[in-house]
Structure 1
Amino acid sequence: MTDIGHPDSFHGLPVHTLPGPGAASTVPLPDAGSVAWRLESAWQGDLTFGALWQHFIDTVDTTRVRALLIGPWWQEAYTSFAPVVDLLAGHADRFPALRGLFLADVVSEECELSWLEMCDITPVFEAFGQLEELTVRGCGQQVEDRPSLGLRPVRHTSLTSLRFESGGLPSGVVRAVGASELPALEHLELWLGVSWYGGDATVEDLAPLLSGAALPALRHLGLQNSEIQDEIAAAVASAPVVARLESLSLAMGTLGDEGAEALLSGQPLSHLTSLDLHHHYISDPLLDRLRDLLGPDRVNGEINDVEYWDPEEDDDRYVAVNE
């Protein structure tokens, strides 16, 4: 996974991984509200996530916990995230101060993105009404008879930042976000991914988001890591929501000259403070025109590891994060 790593900080707080109950340590735990707590049970012998969770709520004053990250939750074999969601929702009353939540803070060395067995995360929205920031990592690919990442339309009045990191985001999740009432949401980032890993969202599925009506407070929109990035750029070029954005990301995907032309010939973008296009397939002349339009400091056109791509010899393009 490129563009994916363990964050050093989350929700404005340094990340601290809670030692397991059997870990001997002479170092006292930090103040409950001073860090973002990270829980991981994998590779700790017979420690189950349930046992680690009990240790957490017994050891830390959870009434003062402001941010929480869930790392690897399995033991030997990968298992569904559903029991973790059940624990979170079932103990929501113990976390009145929780404002930031990261579901599945896992990197490729621990589990490939497409192998993470996610589930319906709607109960998290419903249980934590004061949540302000939610990040969800994981693909939508169904594993055997277990459901994939899912979401039903919700109403949540406190959430200001929502981020889905996926190599294949299901269209049902995209439509659910568009059908939700999120009046405070300022930052939305969707890694749409590829169809091979369950990313089957279309431009039509994005229409409620692009209209701007569903998200009145939105200031940053990221529609990225997509294999249909040119189609998305063409839709964005005339989307009403763009006029009130401060920043826009179409990064990490297969954006090429067709999409760049659409952006250049569409509605004005000069009001944007940032246009992120990193990991792209745009020719230098068109990239220069975008930089002239917005200013070189406001366009991130870094190509990264696709610099060798030759459009005359290779029609294949790839997104930054898939498996």
Structure 2
Amino acid sequence: MSIHAHLHRYGGLRVVRFDDETKADGKFPPPDQAAWYVGTTFNGESFGDTFARFMKAVDTTRVTTLVIGYWGASHDRSCTYPVELLAEAADSFPALRALFLGDIVGEESEISWIEHSDITPLFTAFPGLESLEVRGASELRLEPVRSDRLQTLRFESGGLPAEVVRAVAASDLPNLRYLDMWLGEENYGGNATVADLAPLLSGERLPALRHLGLENSEIQDEIAAAVASAPVVARLKSLSLAMGALTDRGAEALLAGQPLTHLDVLDLRHHFLSDAMMQRVEAALPGVEVDLSDQQEPEDEDWFFIEVSE
């Protein structure tokens, strides 16, 4: 499955587009009352030129929320990767609190084709950042970081590199409350293992974490087995193992592990559980909102597929 719709709202604000067709002298809402989409189009002007026009047209000192859209690909002469531009312009965005990097839909680029760079400079450039969400993971790089302000961190991908998972696990994020990672499959670069997740599952570096999503994974059964005894689970309000290749084996491990009745939400959407196992999961978790929608059947009897890959 591909993603076919751009964000309409982000960070509680309506998304307002500024792309290569936007007139810089147009009428815009107050800068702090919109989530500003900045992006170009295929064969349009360079992202750098669009971003420069945006900075002239909008009082960026009042912008709190940015959504970065299509910026091109390495084979485009006009491709300009956004992280360097954002870091260089950081002084012009003192109020920035939320950033979505890669609001790119399938008609622009499949999720596995979205090309990134090193996103580590964002944490230095924007120490007040409270939410960072990234779509796509090709060439994505991250070093361990420290942030006292970050509360939400999300990665949407068809294959999240193990190096990125390990960097998140080694980061110092004492106020992170919401962590969501689409781990993907190895064919698209998703080579993280359960061992790479171990520091996250211990919870030692994440004292404030209340939601954990380890999703869209071809090793969802192994992850479920690890989560079943993970110390971090005891402090969570919601847990998501959705979008992946979860089978009865993984669900059995969850039921045999630590109690999950303290959760408000358990999201297992897009799964390969049998009807009998679905009934067992629901019966074992009274009072928990369990999402068992989108039941799948394996293709060719033994191919269990994730929801979002290419």
Give the CA RMSD over aligned residues: 2.1
Distance across 1 between alignment mates of 2:3 and 2:112:
15
Contact 2:2 2:106 survives alignment (8 Å):
no
Query: C-alpha separation between the residues in 2 aligned to 1:19 and 1:172?
Result: 33
1:236-251 correspondence to structure 2 within 5 Å: 236-251=227-242
Name the CA distance, whole Å, in 2 between partners of 1:79 and 1:215: 42
1:42-98 deviation line (CA, Å, top 9, x unaligned): 1464x2111111111111000100100110112895579873111000111111111
What are the residue-to-residue correspondences of 1:190-269 with 2, within 5 Å? 190-269=181-260
Decide which of 93, 104, 110 is 2:102's aligned counterpart: 104
Instruction: Determine if contact 1:17/1:38 at 8 Å carries over to the other structure.
Output: yes
Residue deviations 1:163-201, cap 9 Å, x none? 000100000000000000001100000000000011000
SS in 2 for 1:151: coil
SS of corresponding position for 2:304:
coil
Cα distance, 1:225–1:3 mapped onto 2, change above 3 Å: farther
Task: Give the CA deviation at 1:116.
Answer: 1.1
Higher mean C-alpha displacement, 23-32 vs 5-14:
23-32
- 2:78, 2:162 → 1: CA distance? 20
Indicate if the aligned counterparts of 1:168 and 1:194 stay in contact, CA closer than 8 A: yes
**Aligned in 2, Cα 1:127/1:23: closer, same or farther, shift over 3 Å?**
closer
Once structures 1 and 2 are overlaid, which stretch shifts more, 47-56 or 64-73?
Answer: 47-56
| Corresponding residue number in structure 2 for 1:59 | 57
Q: Residues 80 and 119 of structure 1 are in contact (CA less than 8 Å); yes or no, is this contact kept in structure 2?
A: no
Greater shift, 148-157 or 80-89, is seen at: 80-89
Unaligned residue ranges in structure 1 (runs of 5+):
141-147
Question: Closer, same or farther in 2 for the Cα pair 1:201/1:250, shift >3 Å?
Answer: same
- Aligned residue in 2 for 1:316: 303
Cα pair 2:74 2:115 within 8 Å, conserved: no
Change (3 A) 1:150 1:257: same
Structure 1 stretches (4+) deviating beyond 4 angstroms?
A: 22-27, 75-82
CA contact (8 A) 2:2 2:308 kept: yes
* Change over 3 Å in CA distance of 1:295–1:4 after alignment to 2: farther
Q: Which runs of 5+ in 2 are unaligned?
A: none
- Conservation of the 8 A alpha-carbon contact between 1:163 and 1:188: yes
Cα 1:78–1:221 change in 2 (3 A) is: farther
Shift of 1:6: 1.7
Which residue matches 2:122?
124
Q: Once structures 1 and 2 are overlaid, which stretch shifts more, 27-36 or 205-214?
A: 27-36
